[in-house]
Amino acid sequence: MEKWDIKSNVFATKEENIKLMMVINDIVEEFDRLIPSGPPLGFKTLELVNDEISGPTFYWPLGRDFYKIALNVSDLNYNQIAFQFSQELCRIYCDPRMRSWFIQLLCHIVALYSLDMLGKKWEKTPPNNDLIDYWYNFDSYKSNLLGAAFSKVDMVKYQVDNEWVQNQVNKLRQKNKLNRGKLLIIAYELLPMFKEHPESWQILPLVGKNSNPPPPSNPDEIVTNRDTEPDFEKLMEELPENLKSFSNKFYDKIGAKEYI
């Protein structure tokens, strides 16, 4: 792990923390592969702790030389750890000083992707002999999360209304109370698009800077934790050419062109 220095104090024992790092390292390596430019504030020491009251969360204020992520786990459930850690790592890649419904949506997409990625990777190459059959748990965990989310949705309307995603995104823009179940379903609907366009993940480091209000221009101003809105017009203008095809499909899917 040349780019990251990760310190894990999630569990009481060194053995458990070492095991935890198997899934953390796989996720970080995948982020490095998909987003080689790295996070907008750069690579820093990444501290992992457990907080069964406030976690999972990204701690504030930010440290100048480190990021601090709190999980909320009672034991070594790799699937739960993967889902929570991926969401918080996504915040770092979007800009941890910024907070918006759009960033939360992207974090849910990343978390679902990580579960799929780990399931396939561990099925083919399990970390050790004790985890030969564990790969199935990632898919099972994802299915349980989505099952709980879909159980609270009008399935008839969901199936016949092809504008469901756009309607839900519009509600998010109107600052309605965030429904995490529906947010997960929207993420599930958008995930295939990201898988089809592997370059799509490179949009993450551009999201925070193309927000309204934007982040401080000085990257050393790290204690800002501002609520913001995505500036879809500015984001579209700044996207590199290799993201244009993906971004047009993505904007159409969520109805973002209506806000430009």
The residue ranges of every structural domain in the chain are: 5-259
The confidence band for 60, taking pLDDT boundaries of 50, 70 and 90, is confident
Q: Are 13 and 7 in contact (CB under 8 A)?
A: no
Rounded distance between C-alpha atoms, residue 158 and residue 161, angstroms: 6
Q: In what order do the strands lie in the sheet with 45-50?
A: 5-9, 45-50, 66-71, 57-58
pLDDT of 113 over the 80 cut = yes
* CATH class label, 5-259: mainly alpha
- pLDDT, tens only, 217-255: 888 888 777 899 999 999 999 999 999 899 999 999 999
Position with higher pLDDT, 177 vs 81 = 81
DSSP 150-173: HTTS-HHHHHH-TTHHHHHHHHHH
pLDDT at 61: 65
126: left (phi over 0), alpha (psi -120 to 50) or beta: beta
Using the predicted structure, report yes or no on whether residue 1 has a pLDDT greater than 50.
Answer: no
The model's pLDDT over 14-47, given as tens digits with 9 standing for 90+, comes to: 999 999 999 999 999 999 999 999 999 999 999 9
Global pTM value: 0.95
pLDDT of residue 59: 87
| pLDDT tens-digit readout, 72-90 | 999 999 999 999 999 999 9
- For the chain, the average pLDDT equals 92
Distances (CA, A) of 101 to 98, 181, 223: 10, 13, 20
Rounded Cα–Cα distance for residues 235 and 206 (Å) = 7
